[in-house]
Amino acid sequence: MKFIKLYESFEDIDSICEKYDIDNYTINSDGTVDVDDNVNLTSKKLTKLPLKFGNVTGYFNCGYNNLISLEGCPQSVSGTFNCSYNKLTTLKDCPQSVSGTFNCSYNKLTSLEFCPQSVANFDCISNMLKTLEFCPQSVGGYLDCQHNQLTTLEFFPKSTGGYFDFGYNQIKDMYGFPEFFYSEIYYNDNPVEEILELFETKFDNRLGKVIDLLNEYGVIQKDGKLVILDRLEEVFHTLNMKVPEIDLEDYKVF
């Protein structure tokens, strides 16, 4: 019995499911496979997915492979979707409905185009992203985009409820960062909320400029042990900001 181009027969699909320990599945008339369970394809040395999936009610993990394409990914995943540690340059064909965490970290992505628009958590650590454009607009929990090439927070999700970590990027301003965001924020492992309070610029777009000018003016030197006071004051005068009271007891001041 001939059955679409992907497979010669239903038996081929059965054998593939057996090979990858995929249980509780249904073969649809179009050759897609629905799975009422988890799908674990991690660390299988895959260069492409072995099946064309439809809907998966558990998690779907195809991380730690050599995938360059997500062709064959499920249309919807009720749990976590994990495609981390591959060689992806695009998220084309990724699921459009993910109820759990969406993890595309440690790839070669330059764009978040094709992402689902609503997820529980979003992790895109260690890619080559310069913008959050196409990022999910609703993130129920955390958003982690460390170790990319972001220069701005424009296109930040309209709704998010967990911690946000944008450390190890090249952020120069806070444009696009919503005023309603009150959860934990981290930048280079430091809670940005504390930095914002310290500089009296809570949810102020000038935060990134403060950070930028601190570096540009060489305010902190000798591995963080020396503070050049007049340069510190110049940073805030440049931005027309009040110089905050800062405890420099642990620093040498020049």
Place of tokens 């599945």: 25
Question: Which domain-ending residue is among 53, 78, 103?
Answer: 78
**pLDDT over threshold 60, residue 1:** no
Q: How many domains does the chain have?
A: 2
Q: Does some domain include residue 127?
A: no
What's the token pair of residue 174? Answer: 């806070």
Query: Residue 200's pLDDT band (boundaries 50, 70, 90)?
Result: very low
Query: Residue 64's pLDDT band (boundaries 50, 70, 90)?
Result: very high
Question: Which domain-ending residue is among 31, 50, 78?
Answer: 78
* 175 touches 196 (CB < 8 A): no
Q: Does some domain include residue 7?
A: yes
Between residues 72 and 8, the one the model is more confident about: 72
Mean pLDDT, range 62-83, rounded to an integer = 97
What's the token pair of residue 68? Answer: 């360059």
For residue 174, give the amino acid letter: M
Question: Which domain-ending residue is among 24, 59, 78?
Answer: 78
**pLDDT over threshold 90, residue 225:** no
Q: Could you read off the pLDDT of 139-148 as tens digits, one per residue?
A: 999 999 999 9
Place of tokens 């360059």: 68
Domain that holds residue 254: 217-254
Output phi, psi for 14, to 5 deg: -60, -45
Q: Does some domain include residue 139?
A: no
Other C-beta atoms lying within 10 Å of the C-beta of residue 136? 23
Q: Does some domain include residue 210?
A: no
Q: Could you read off the pLDDT of 178-197 as tens digits, one per residue?
A: 655 555 666 666 555 554 55
Mean pLDDT, range 218-231, rounded to an integer = 68
Single out the residue of 50, 41, 7 nearest to residue 21, CA to CA: 41
**pLDDT over threshold 50, residue 53:** yes
Residue % of the chain over a pLDDT of 70: 67
- Write out the H or E segment, with its range, that includes residue 88: none
Strands (E), 68-225: 76-77, 81-82, 97-98, 101-103, 118-119, 121-123, 138-139, 143-144, 159-160, 164-165, 185-187, 190-191, 220-221
Query: Residue 133's pLDDT band (boundaries 50, 70, 90)?
Result: very high
Candidate from 60-69, 123-132, 163-172, 224-233 with smallest mean pLDDT: 224-233
Q: What pTM was computed for the model?
A: 0.73
Query: Residue 211's pLDDT band (boundaries 50, 70, 90)?
Result: low
Quick one: CA dihedral 26, 32, 37, 40, positive or negative? positive
Between residues 122 and 201, the one the model is more confident about: 122
**pLDDT over threshold 70, residue 224:** no
Gyration radius from the chain CA atoms: 23
Q: Does some domain include residue 242?
A: yes
